[in-house]
Structure 1
Amino acid sequence: MLAVACLAVPLAACSSLGASGPSTSSVRKIEATQYDGSDVKIIDLDNQVVRRVAAVRNSRNFSEIFGEAAVVDTVIGYGDALDISMWEAPPAVLFGAMGADVRPPAGISIAQSAALPGQVVGNDGLVSVPFVGRVQAAGRTPAEVQHEISARLRGKANDPQVVVRLVQNETRNVTIIGEVAASRRVPLSARGERLLDAIAAAGGSRQPVGKTTIQLSRGATVAAMALDDIIRNPAQNVRLLPDDVVTVLFQPYSFIALGAVNQNAEVPFEGGGLTLAQALGRTGGLRDERADIRGVFVFRMEDPAALDPSVTATARTTLDGRVPVVYRLNLSDASSLFAAQDFAIRDRDILYISNAPGTDLQKFLNSLSTVAFSAISVGNAVR
């Protein structure tokens, strides 16, 4: 009776052994299912697949997305402060007859000038200038305002000369936030500041360059690149435009490792990117006693541009325009290690390693031997 009871326990346990996830065969059958209204695709990793995925990633750099903005003249905006200075050639008529006790030497005439306190451009876009009146400043360059004031002074002053300078820029700024020494608004000048200029103006990154990512937001367009890539490739150091937002991020990406790896976890990685081979290394590699070397999978919501046209021709996309894809790597083929070395992991990827086919049987046998040993121990104790 004791032997029967002992056998009943493992037989019941056989049907309820735990698992770390779907088997390799179950994952391969996923192509017959859908997610969010889209057909799930399984794609074996090879050189052509790696190249297509890499090409899409390279097309997302700053130079491709934002282009090279032209340097434009400084335009005055609402709230800006102007320094306005006016001169009049001798003999001065309007600005400055000198006091009776201060006269120039005989036979010498000097020019007279008037410097106005800082003039702030109001909500109406105007500034007030003595002897001239209200002048439109917003939306114009300092040179254009200067020219209008000079024109209005003619006939009132003798050969008037005017200089207008923008001394406080409140409208042509970019915002720098995140992992910098001091988040701030950086004014843009006629020089045409670039991305690295603005980061330097904010004190630089507080984190190592190799682990820092730069996110640039311009209107509705948002893109991110590794700071190291921007430094090494001058073409990515794009010129900034007013109202750009630059966010400096420290290791903003992560992937999730599940299944027969030595460490199931969410693993952060740097902006410079991570290959599949590196991802396997950071999780401690495959577990020898459990992993199916033919069942290394990367689950991803993929951009259709990264897929072969024959796949996208029949694939239905999700509501946000992506295709659920499972990339499969067969490590029983030694050449697949090259693909693992070149295939880039992306943010929010799921790296899953399925159990080897004999794992469940091994679990059952281990359970059976454990119960049998316990039964023998109990039997010896009873005797």
Structure 2
Amino acid sequence: MKLTTSKGARALVLVALVATVGACGLPRSGPNKREIFAGSVLKQGDAYVVTVNSRVTRATAVMPAFGFGSSFRNAGVVGSDTINAGDLLALTVFENVKDDPLLGNTGQRVSLLDQVQVDGQGYIFVPYAGKVKAAGQTPDGLRQILTKKLDSQTPDPQITVQRLAGDGQTVSVSGAVTGQGVYPIERPTRTLSTMLAKSGGIAIEPAVAIVRVTRGGQTGKVWLQDLYENPGLDIALRGGDQIVVERDQRAFTALGATGAQSLVPFESQTLSAIEAIAQVGGLATSLADPTGVFVFRNEPAEIANSVLGRKDLRGDQRMVYVLDLTQPTGMFEARDFLIRDGDTVYVTEAPFVQWTKTIGAITGTAGAADSLASVGSSGG
């Protein structure tokens, strides 16, 4: 009699627990393929679900276009010998007299005027020559001007002009560089790449470095790698330029049966779907369904129309791109399909995973039922 009661109690508990497992959703990382496809416009949903092929890949291969406008590109290199307001000059005057020179002491034929600064209006003051406009002149041009002014006061003066520092033409370099600071534009540092080298170089990975230059009210930016590979992007600098080196801020979200679920920054200028998956540790081998790799994106109307072969869509469209890695060209499509900023890469769980979880839950509940039945039996 006790044996019958024990079996009946265990059966009742097992049935109750199995019913509970069936009624409650088992834990999972997100929607399955059927649920995603149910959200398609074709099934009264609000997203366009598109299988990726070579045509779709070409239509969606849009990357941010960086570069400098014509005002940057057409600016010529600053003459390294041009004098500017704020510069420091050294003037040396040789007088062809033995006694009573104009600038020096008796018997002193050479007079050195060191650390002569060009004022904010571009002028310098030289004894017996007065205020002289120096800004905009080359050292040789200024020499000729001073020679004419002093020639009437001392016989055959010989003058040299040397530009000591180019602080009148400076740029600021900040961000991810080794040496942030304000640097003069000098003969070796008249272009963007040479100024970056002067600042000590880039302090982050070159593949994700963006160089931004602001001049007046205009801003342009380029990838660091493009700057080194394309001489046409190595623009000439101007005084007052602000150079900032920053890390690429683009990122995508990885969810589902992947090695990691997180917000993932880009590690290169372009990132394919297969590279994005690899970047988060690949597919989880015990969970992932390689036929269910999805990319969720809000697509501009122009691209959405091209992908769908339409012309009537307006505004951003919700798009779900489907990649099946088991297809003959699946891996190639994933390799060529580009991920963009803000994308969500989601990998569904394989169908058997839910069965495994169900079996595990039932097995666990069966064990619990045995324990409860044993308790009931011993209590009887």
TM range (shorter): 0.7 to 0.9
- 1:278 equivalent in structure 2: 275
* Aligned counterpart for 2:31 among listed residues 8, 22, 40: 22
Mapped contact 1:94–1:156 kept (Cα < 8 A)? no
Mapped contact 2:271–2:339 kept (Cα < 8 A)? yes
2:292 aligned with 1:295, yes or no? yes
- 2:3 equivalent in structure 1: none
Mapped contact 2:257–2:348 kept (Cα < 8 A)? yes
2:331 aligned with 1:337, yes or no? yes
- 2:91 equivalent in structure 1: 84
- 1:197 equivalent in structure 2: 194
- 1:7 equivalent in structure 2: 15
Shift of 1:9: 4.0
- 1:370 equivalent in structure 2: 364
Mapped contact 1:87–1:162 kept (Cα < 8 A)? yes
TM-score (norm 1): 0.72
2:125 aligned with 1:128, yes or no? yes
Residue 296 of structure 1 aligns to a residue whose secondary structure is strand
CA distance in 1, matches of 2:300, 2:67: 15
What code does the residue aligned with 1:373 have? Answer: G
Give the 5 Å matches for 1:1-383: 3-13=11-21, 14-28=23-37, 44-51=51-58, 54=61, 56-57=63-64, 59-60=65-66, 67=73, 69-74=75-80, 75-87=82-94, 95=102, 99=106, 102=107, 113-138=110-135, 142=139, 145-153=142-150, 155-159=152-156, 162-190=159-187, 193-206=190-203, 213-219=209-215, 220-227=218-225, 230-242=227-239, 243-247=241-245, 249=247, 254-271=251-268, 273-300=270-297, 309=306, 314-317=312-315, 326-356=320-350, 360=354, 363-383=357-377
Mapped contact 2:254–2:261 kept (Cα < 8 A)? yes
- 2:6 equivalent in structure 1: none
Q: Deviations over 1:115-142 (max 9, x none)?
A: 3221223334432222222233446555
Mapped contact 2:87–2:168 kept (Cα < 8 A)? yes
Q: How many corresponding residue pairs?
A: 359
Q: Which has the larger radius of gyration?
A: 2
CA distance in 2, matches of 1:339, 1:201: 43
Mapped contact 2:251–2:342 kept (Cα < 8 A)? yes
CA distance in 2, matches of 1:378, 1:21: 34
Mapped contact 1:225–1:271 kept (Cα < 8 A)? no
Shift of 1:245: 0.9
Residue 172 of structure 2 aligns to a residue whose secondary structure is strand
Shift of 1:271: 3.8
Mapped contact 1:302–1:325 kept (Cα < 8 A)? yes
Mapped contact 1:24–1:294 kept (Cα < 8 A)? no
CA distance in 1, matches of 2:147, 2:320: 70
Instruction: Name which of structure 1's ranges 284-293 and 259-268 shifts more when overlaid on structure 2.
Output: 284-293
Shift of 1:5: 4.9
Instruction: Name which of structure 1's ranges 120-129 and 356-365 shifts more when overlaid on structure 2.
Output: 356-365
Mapped contact 2:10–2:372 kept (Cα < 8 A)? no
Identity between Structure 1 and Structure 2 (%)? 27
CA distance in 2, matches of 1:165, 1:41: 70
CA distance in 2, matches of 1:22, 1:29: 10
CA distance in 2, matches of 1:291, 1:64: 50
Q: Deviations over 1:163-212 (max 9, x none)?
A: 443322224233334454433333222456334423332333456x6656
Task: Identify if the C-alpha distance between structure 1 residues 341 and 81 changes in structure 2 by more than 3 Å, giving closer, same or farther.
Answer: same
CA distance in 2, matches of 1:149, 1:40: 77
Instruction: Name which of structure 1's ranges 140-149 and 124-133 shifts more when overlaid on structure 2.
Output: 140-149
Mapped contact 1:92–1:158 kept (Cα < 8 A)? no
- 1:108 equivalent in structure 2: none
Quote the RMSD (CA, aligned, Å): 4.3
CA distance in 1, matches of 2:238, 2:305: 36
Shift of 1:281: 2.0
What code does the residue aligned with 2:211 have? Answer: Q
Q: Deviations over 1:282-336 (max 9, x none)?
A: 3232234543434322344667786665779555457xxxx76544323232312
CA distance in 2, matches of 1:64, 1:338: 39
Shift of 1:16: 3.5
Task: Identify if the C-alpha distance between structure 1 residues 334 and 5 changes in structure 2 by more than 3 Å, giving closer, same or farther.
Answer: same
CA distance in 2, matches of 1:356, 1:362: 10
Structure 1: give runs of 5+ residues left out of the alignment.
33-38, 104-111
TM-score (norm 2): 0.72
